[in-house]
Amino acid sequence: MDKFDFKNKPLKELTRSKYKRILEVQQENTKNDFLFDFGIFLKKNGKLIGGCSLMDISRQVFQNAYIGYHIFNNYWSQGYAQEAINACLYL
């Protein structure tokens, strides 16, 4: 374990209803054009290895957004974040 690892969440926090609420908030943010969340998956087997977000979206004379990402530490330093960010640039 390195300095970026955090303890696992207690199983009581990993409930279907909590996950459903997270999805509802994400859908509301997407509907309001405020935040778009995407999963990052391995091409070879579809395994989820992180996520990427477009946030604080501004659609004025020019369009602007911040890009955030997270990669699970077992997949660091393999180019997955760079590939995900590049994909976000063409959405």
Q: What pLDDT, on a 0 to 100 scale, did the predictor assign at position 3?
A: 54
Please count the residues of the chain: 91
Tokens describing residue 60: 């004025």
**In sequence order, what E strands does the chain have?**
35-41, 48-59, 63-71
Task: Return the DSSP state at 11.
Answer: G
Helices vs. strands in the chain: H and E counts, helices first: 2, 3
The span from the CA of 50 to the CA of 39, in Å, is: 6
Q: Confidence class of residue 82 from pLDDT cuts 50, 70 and 90?
A: very high
Q: What pLDDT, on a 0 to 100 scale, did the predictor assign at position 80?
A: 93
Predicted structure pTM score: 0.69
Q: How many CB atoms lie within 10 A of CB 76?
A: 13
Kindly state the percentage of the chain with pLDDT values over 90: 9
